[in-house]
Amino acid sequence: MILFILAYLIGVKKQTRLLSGFNEQQVRDKDKLASLVGSFNLIMGMVMVGGAFIKHPDAQALIPILVIGYVILIAYVNTKMLD
């Protein structure tokens, strides 16, 4: 549920101040950042909700995938979107 709320606040309302890991004043395109992070949170929220209904022994592997996805997203933002 938290991922859906973050997707709405960041992706739709463009509240990039909720994000950590970078200096907000250095971001070149805040709309692109908000769209990228909001979409990622929405997709990960849907994957996590879907994973809750799947009775599979490896369903707990979704949490590390989520964390790795965030690390990749932070690395992308810090290398490509900052001045």
What would the pLDDT profile of 23-73 be if each residue is shown by its tens digit? 778 889 999 999 999 999 999 999 999 888 888 788 788 889 999 999 999
Give CA–CA dist 71/69, Å, rounded.
5
Q: Which residue intervals of 8-61 are DSSP H helices?
A: 30-53
pLDDT of residue 82: 85
Q: What is the pTM of this model?
A: 0.85
**How confident is residue 5, by pLDDT bands cut at 50, 70 and 90?**
very high
pLDDT of residue 78: 86
Amino acid at 75: A
Domain containing 57 equals 2-17+26-80
Radius of gyration in angstroms for the set of CA atoms belonging to the chain, rounded to a whole number: 14
Amino acid at 34: A
* Number of folded domains that form the chain: 1
